[in-house]
């Protein structure tokens, strides 16, 4: 595990659980890519194609995130806290814009419920 150093440009840690099979597959992809492990994860997570699915669950999740940001903005009191929240808002809105920009070629037909035959 990396040591904690607040002066680093990349000072945040991201971790998650995977199954043994997923771990093996991830390690194989990293080896094939020839990239350092950290760079592979950054590239994989930030530069993948994301599509917003239509449905109540996805809409609720987006609404919840926007509500959390609004509540956080209402509670802030000092400049450092405001700066952190503004950075978080900018990141969320940037990603939202990128995802929705990729889906600009959708039409009303894409949102209709398909009947099972």
Instruction: Summarize pLDDT for 64-96 with one digit per residue, the tens.
Output: 877 887 777 777 777 777 777 788 777 777 777
pLDDT, tens digit, for every residue of 94-106? 777 776 665 555 5
Helix or strand run (H / E) with residue 73: helix 56-75
Please tell me whether the overall predicted TM-score, pTM, comes out greater than 0.85 for this model.
Answer: no
78, burial (CB in 10 Å: exposed 0-12, middle 13-18, buried 19+): exposed
């Amino acid at each position: 595990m990396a040591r904690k150093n607040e002066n680093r440009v990349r000072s945040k840690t991201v971790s998650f659980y995977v199954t043994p099979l997923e771990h093996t597959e991830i390690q194989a992809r990293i080896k094939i890519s020839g990239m350092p492990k950290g760079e592979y994860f950054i590239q994989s997570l930030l530069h993948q194609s994301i599509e917003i699915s239509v449905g109540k669950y996805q809409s609720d999740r987006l609404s919840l995130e926007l509500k959390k940001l609004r509540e956080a903005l209402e509670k802030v009191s000092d400049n450092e806290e405001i700066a952190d929240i503004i950075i978080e808002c900018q990141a969320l809105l940037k990603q939202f814009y990128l995802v929705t920009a990729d889906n600009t070629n959708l039409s009303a037909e894409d949102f209709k419920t398909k009947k099972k035959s």
